[in-house]
Chain A
Amino acid sequence: MAPEKLPYKPNPRAPRAVLPVLEPRRRASTPEEVALGFTPEQAIAEAQRCLQCAKPECVNACPLHIDIKRFIRRLAEGDAVGAHEVIGEQSPFPGVCGRVCQHELFCEDACVTGKKWDPVAIGSLERFAADHARLRAHELSPNGSKKPQGPKVALVGSGPASLIAAYDLVRLHYRVTIFEALHKLGGVLAYGIPNFRLPREILAEEIARLQNLGVEFVPDFIVGKTATIEDLFDEGYQAIFVGTGAGLPYLMGIPGENLTGVYTANEFLTRINLMEAYKFPDVSTPVRVGKRTIVVGGGNSAMDAARWARRFGSETIVLFRRGRAEMRARLEEIEHAEEEEVQFHFLAAPVALYGDENGHVREMECIRMELGEPDSSGRPSPVPIEGSNFRIMCDTVVAAIGQAPNPTLQKATPQLITKRGKIVVNESGETSLPRVYAGGDVVRGGSTVILAMKDGRAAAEAIHEALSS
Chain B
Amino acid sequence: MNQILAKRPLAPEVTLFEIEAPRIQRRWQPGQFVMVRPLPTSERIPLTLVTSDAVRQSVTIVVQAIGKTTKELAALEAGDAVADFVGPLGEAASTTKGERVVCMAGGVGVAELLPVAKAFHDASNHVTCLCGARSDNYRILDAELREAADVVEWATDDGSFGFHGNVVQMLLARNKPGDFTVGHVIGPIPMMKAAAEATRSWGLKLYASLNPVMIDGTGMCVGCRVTVGSEVKFACVDGPEFDAHLVDFDELARRNRAYRDMEQEALQHQCRLQKVE
Contacts from A to B (Cβ < 8 Å):
181-183, 191, 219-222, 225-227, 247-249, 251, 257-258, 260-261, 263-264, 266-267, 270-271, 274-275, 280-286, 288, 358-360, 406-408, 411
Contact = CB atoms under 8 A, between A and B. Distances in A.
Nearest to B227: A258
B184 interface: no
B222 A251 contact: yes
Interface of B: 23-24, 27, 37, 41-44, 68-69, 72, 83-89, 215-216, 218-223, 225, 227, 232, 237, 251, 254-255, 257-259, 262-263, 265-266, 269-270
B27 A227 contact: yes
A284 B219 contact: no
A245 to B, nearest CB: 9
A406 B86 contact: no
Contact of B222 (A182, A264, A282, A286): A264
B42 A222 contact: no
A258 B269 contact: no
B219 A248 contact: yes
A249 B37 CA distance: 23
Contact of B69 (A247, A284, A358, A359): A284
Contacts of B223: 263-264, 267
Name the 10 nearest CB pairs between A and B, nearest first. Answer: A267-B221, A359-B254, A286-B262, A281-B269, A260-B258, A247-B220, A281-B266, A220-B86, A183-B84, A283-B41
B86 to A, nearest CB: 4
B186 to A, nearest CB: 21
Contact of A264 (B42, B68, B221): B221
Nearest to A248: B219
Contacts of A219: 84
A428 to B, nearest CB: 28
B150 to A, nearest CB: 32
Contacts of B263: 286
Given A270-B215, A271-B215, A288-B262, A249 B220 contact: yes
Given A248-B222, A258-B225, A285-B215, 4 more contacts: A222-B86, A225-B27, A227-B27, A282-B41
Given A267-B215, A284-B266, A226 B86 contact: yes
Contact of A222 (B218, B222, B227): B218
A220 B85 contact: yes
A379 B37 CA distance: 43
14 contacts: A225-B27, A225-B89, A226-B87, A227-B27, A266-B222, A271-B215, A275-B43, A280-B262, A281-B265, A281-B269, A284-B42, A284-B43, A288-B262, A359-B251
Contacts of B270: 281
A182 to B, nearest CB: 6
A186 B33 CA distance: 25
B68 A284 contact: yes
A407 B222 CA distance: 13
Contact of B37 (A183, A225, A247, A260): A183
* Most chain A Cβ neighbours within 10 Å, of B43, B216, B227: B216
Contacts of A281: 262, 265-266, 269-270
A225 B266 contact: no
A78 B49 CA distance: 59
A406 B218 contact: yes
Contacts of B221: 249, 264, 266-267, 270-271
A280 B87 contact: no
A406 B269 contact: no
Nearest to A226: B23
Contact of B219 (A182, A275, A285, A408): A408
A263 B72 CA distance: 27
A31 to B, nearest CB: 16
A29 B98 CA distance: 60
A284 B232 contact: no
Contacts of B227: 258
A90 B85 CA distance: 36
A219 B269 CA distance: 30
A288 B258 contact: yes
A260 B262 CA distance: 14
Nearest to A257: B232
* Most chain A Cβ neighbours within 10 Å, of B220, B227, B232, B254: B220
A35 to B, nearest CB: 27
B218 A408 contact: yes
Contacts of B23: 221, 226-227
Contacts of B237: 407-408, 411
B85 A181 contact: no
B262 A222 contact: no
A45 to B, nearest CB: 43
Nearest to B38: A284
* Most chain B Cβ neighbours within 10 Å, of A260, A283, A411: A260
Contacts of B72: 284
B220 A266 contact: yes
* Most chain B Cβ neighbours within 10 Å, of A226, A227, A270: A226
B87 A258 contact: no
A174 to B, nearest CB: 23
Contacts of A267: 215, 221-223
A207 B39 CA distance: 23
B43 A249 contact: no
A247 B259 contact: no
A251 B232 contact: yes
Contacts of A222: 86-87, 89, 218
A266 B86 CA distance: 19
A220 B87 CA distance: 8
A446 to B, nearest CB: 13
Contacts of B218: 181, 222, 225, 247, 406, 408
